Chains A and B, each alone.
Chain A
Amino acid sequence: MTKYVMSNTMTKSDWKNSVFLKSLADIEKLKKTDGSDLHVSGSGQLIQLLLKNDLVDELWLLVHPLTLGTGKKLFGDGTIPGAFTLTESLVSPTGVIIANYKRAGEVKTGTVGA
């Protein structure tokens, strides 16, 4: 499996099948190529860049029944307004909501009850 790594300084690794990307344009180009879907895990800073530029097609989230108060957030400043379709969801016995969201256009508004 190819690991695409966003980095300003690193250009190679001993871990086989790793490719280093430098810019947003590299990611946009990569998305247009043929190949399997790209999974992003962790990568708190990279995700901010992807969310800000509307490059995320799906969010597969495990929402734990906790508040933490501080720490890196998935949706930081710069998150764009966007609508999603919930395509799958289940709740684990421990209260973790596992949900798959697919990007689905603009946020629509209206008046409740109107």
Chain B
Amino acid sequence: MRKIIVLEHISLDGVIQAPGGPDEDTSDGFAYGGWAAPYDDEAIGTALRKMMNSPFDLLLGRKTFDIWAAFWPQHADVWPGAGTATKYVASNNMTSSEWQPSMFLSGDVAEKVAKLKQEQGPDLHIWGSGNLLQTLIKHDLVDVFWLMVYPITLGAGKRLFADGTIPAAFKVTESIVGSNGVIIVNYERAGAVPTGRL
């Protein structure tokens, strides 16, 4: 079975919108695009390269796919993996792209992703894709959250864990603290939320 691994830059208050640059995603008047840039360091670079160089296919929302399709084909030297991976894209309108290999999922995306997980192949990595993530989280399809937690609050913007997030327990399997206060942490899905008394 293929795992679904969510990779996100995230603020302390859970925002994942436009970490990379001012023009990445300005929807709803988001004014803090590029908030991840000042924290770039060797620890983050090394951890990112490790994930980007592991075997994977990509599962992306249509908006993230559009951003990537306009960027990565021109930057294949930086990350050839993005080009060679099969890109599974959730979209109700788009059915093909010049950026290959790509496949489009429409209709009941949760059901289609659940089927995709059963197939043979490398793990499925998700970056960005704030809308698609909500569907996956709601249907408990995410196996791993690989998060880079930045020491900032943003107050507004698209959240990783929005309404519809299910209660769930996770296991921390790895954590790294960068020199600039970014905590990189790997959470693996681990059953229901246990409760008790402190």
Contact = CB atoms under 8 A, between A and B. Distances in A.
The prevalent SS among residues of B at the interface is loop
B166 A69 contact: yes
Which size class do B's interface residues fall under?
A: 35 or more
A75 B153 contact: yes
B157 to A, nearest CB: 9
B80 interface: no
28 contacts: A65-B169, A65-B171, A65-B187, A66-B193, A67-B161, A67-B166, A68-B167, A69-B161, A74-B13, A75-B12, A75-B13, A75-B153, A80-B153, A80-B155, A81-B153, A81-B154, A86-B151, A91-B172, A91-B175, A95-B170, A95-B171, A101-B151, A107-B32, A107-B154, A108-B38, A109-B33, A110-B38, A112-B20
A95 B186 CA distance: 10
B140 to A, nearest CB: 10
A40 interface: no
A82 interface: yes
Given A66-B193, A79-B153, A81-B154, A112 B34 contact: yes
The prevalent SS among residues of A at the interface is loop
Interface residues of A, number: 33
Interface stretch (B59-67, B84-92, B177-185): B177-185
Interface string A82-113: 11111001010001010101001001111111
B193 A68 contact: yes
B131 interface: no
Given A84-B12, A86-B181, A108-B38, 20 more contacts: A65-B169, A65-B190, A66-B168, A67-B168, A69-B161, A69-B164, A74-B13, A75-B12, A89-B177, A91-B185, A97-B172, A97-B185, A99-B183, A101-B151, A107-B35, A109-B37, A110-B37, A111-B37, A112-B37, A113-B20
B55 interface: no
Contacts of A74: 13
